[in-house]
Amino acid sequence: ILDAHFRQLPVHVDVRAVEWHSRVRARGLDQNFAALSTMPRAAPSEMRAFAGEYLMDVLYYLQPSYGQLILDEVAGQMNARYAAYMREHPGFRGGVSIVGHSLGSIIV
């Protein structure tokens, strides 16, 4: 799309993803909410998966200590990606945009 419609504009898009979910969960935090994430076997497996993957993330984020852990993880990864970009493009003097999706839009 950029080449087709914005050929004359000096635009460069570089997407660098931040994936905090698996790193935070790898620290064993799931154990703290194990009782909340268990649903009766009668519940559809999709519902159990949704609760385990998404609702638990909101519960993590709303707890002050876990929310701070998530913020620290995201900030650390963002700073590392920015530093890597600046090493790769030492003359860069442009702006940086940050976009989050779902809970990530609240985190950033």
pLDDT tens digits for 52-87? 667 777 877 888 878 888 899 999 999 999 999 999
Reading the block at residue 85, the tokens are 């970009």
pLDDT tens digits for 23-41? 877 776 666 555 555 556 5
Where is pLDDT greater, at 57 or 96?
96
- Do 106 and 100 touch, CB atoms closer than 8 A? yes
| Active-site residue flag, 102 | yes
What was the pLDDT predicted at 88?
Answer: 94
Mean pLDDT, range 1-28, rounded to an integer = 76
pLDDT tens digits for 41-50? 566 677 767 7
> Pick the catalytic residue: 22, 37, 102, 105?
102
